[in-house]
Each structure stands twice: as structure tokens, then as C-alpha cells.
Structure 1
Amino acid sequence: MRCPYCQSGTAEGALVCAACGRDIAVPATLIAERDDLLRKREALRDELQRARDEAEAIMRRRKSR
């Protein structure tokens, strides 16, 4: 894991950065939450694109009738 402040390597599960001495426990949980939200956002974007593609295909079929 990297310190979100000084970017030095820290031990997994560390509460304080050994290099800069800053508290990294809270930022680590926020980073994990952010990563989870980014994954969910990407999944929603993919789902939205599939829905758009499907709607477009339906509209094309209706126009070709």
C-alpha cells in the first residue's frame, strides 16, 4: 500500500505512515470506498451503454418496417 500523502510504501494495515508520520487509517478506508464506487460507476456506465444500444436497435427495427 502507498501513503496517500507522500506516496512512500507502507505496510498493509498500517495506521500511520512510517515515512511522513501522517495518519493513513482514515484515508485508506476512504480510498477503498472510492475504489468501490469507481467500480460501481463503471458497471453502471456499461449497463447504460447496453441499454442505449438496445434502444437504438429497437428504433432501427421500427424504422425498417
Structure 2
Amino acid sequence: MNCPYCGSETNEDALVCAACSRDIAVPSTLIAERDELLRKREALRDELKRRRSDIETIIRRRKSR
């Protein structure tokens, strides 16, 4: 894991960054929430790509008429 403040490599279990001495502990509930939000974001991005493709297909069909 890298420190979110200085970017130094840190131990996964570290509570404080050894390089910049900032608090880097993140509660596991926040990590789980972040992971769930990232999954949802990916699902929405995939859905958006499918819908854009559908719209492009419709536009191409209308132009070819």
C-alpha cells in the first residue's frame, strides 16, 4: 500500500506513514464501502457503454434509410 499523502510504500497494517508520519489508518468499513462503490461505478460504466452503442446503432440505421 502507498501512503495517500506522500506516496511512500507502507506496510498494509501500518497506522502511521513511516516517511511523513501522517495517520493512514482506514477503518475496514470504509474500505468495504469504497470497494462496493467501485463495483457499482464499473457496472454503471459498462451500462453506459452498452447504451451508447445502442444509440450509435439507432443513429446509423436512421442515416441509412
TM-score by length of 2: 0.57
Counterparts in 2 of 1:1-65, with a 5 A limit? 1-26=1-26, 29=30, 33=34, 37-38=37-38, 40-59=40-59, 60=61, 64=65
Tell me which protein shows more helix as a share of its residues: 1
For the aligned residues, what is the CA RMSD? 3.2
Cα offsets for 1:6-62 (capped at 9, x unmatched): 2211111211112222110139x56x82x654553343223112112213324516x
Partner secondary structure for residue 25 of structure 1: coil
Provide structure 2 residue ranges, at least 5 long, that are not aligned to the other structure. Answer: none
Aligned-partner residue type, residue 26 of structure 1: V
Aligned-partner residue type, residue 40 of structure 1: K
Aligned-partner residue type, residue 56 of structure 1: E
State the percentage of identical aligned residues.
67
Provide structure 1 residue ranges, at least 5 long, that are not aligned to the other structure. Answer: none
TM-score by length of 1: 0.57
How many residue pairs get aligned? The number is 61
